[in-house]
Amino acid sequence: MHSGFSYADPNAGVHGAFAILAALFHRNKTGQGQYIDMSQWEGMMALLPEGILEYTFNGKEPERIGNADPQMAPHGIFRCLDRPEKIFDSTIDQFVAIACNDDLDWGRLARAIGRPELARDPKFATLPARKTNEDELEAIISGWTSQQRAHDVADLLQKVGVAAAVVADNKYLSEEDPHLKARDYWVYQDHPEVGKRQHAGVPWKMSRTPTPVRATAPLIGQHTEEILTQLLGYSADDVAKLRSQGALE
């Protein structure tokens, strides 16, 4: 199944950055630098521990289980009311993700949906029972969520201690997500060609070091002269000569 984006590429950057930091730490401790040889393919292996362990310990290939989890039930996404407004004349469906880690979580969820008796029902009282009757269990929860907005379900369940979150579309992330708003994640800057636009922020905050987004995406050739003179050591006359020869077009 395709993951929807190039999963290996950004994770390779994370692994590479960590390797560089480790090498810098080693240099600070010993005064010696070192060469880093990093494999993107091997970096992906570090993200597949469960599947590798399942085969190496049990000789089994993991089966596709969709949004289910072998150790949790309920665990999945559940249909909610559609967005009340259309986007480009299209109706946008909405879902909420819910995960019950144990029987206590399940009891909280049962009470939250107004069905406390389900926590004592032999078909659902324990994890093995819930896994055996998972289709019926999910139908009950879907019957409840389908009558409500996704963010209302997530808010209610989070307040009673059940892990839940809106399955976020781009509009929700850009305009509505309360956590991103509270942390001032989005940055708004003026771009000389497209005007004020929303930019992704830096996903960490440091107590002593500001982490602002310093600039918008550059225009084509915007920093050519700066790079040539300040980074590569060309003189102004050198740059002028390159321009006259068409080398910088």
Catalytic residue among 9, 89, 135, 190: 9
For residue 9, indicate whether it is catalytic: yes
**Owner of token pair 């976020």:** 168
Cα separation, 110 vs 212, in Å, equals 44
User: 157-186 burial string, b = 16+ CB within 10 Å, else e?
Assistant: beeeebbbbbbbbeebeeeebeebeeeebb
The DSSP output letter for 62 is P
Cα separation, 185 vs 235, in Å, equals 40
Cα separation, 197 vs 203, in Å, equals 18
**Owner of token pair 């060609």:** 193
Residue 15's CB: how many other CB atoms inside 10 A? 19
- Three-state DSSP class for 112? helix
Query: Beta partners for 187?
Result: 199
Cα separation, 54 vs 48, in Å, equals 10
Phi then psi for residue 96, to 5 deg, are -125, 140
Cα separation, 226 vs 248, in Å, equals 13
Which residues are tagged catalytic? Answer: 9
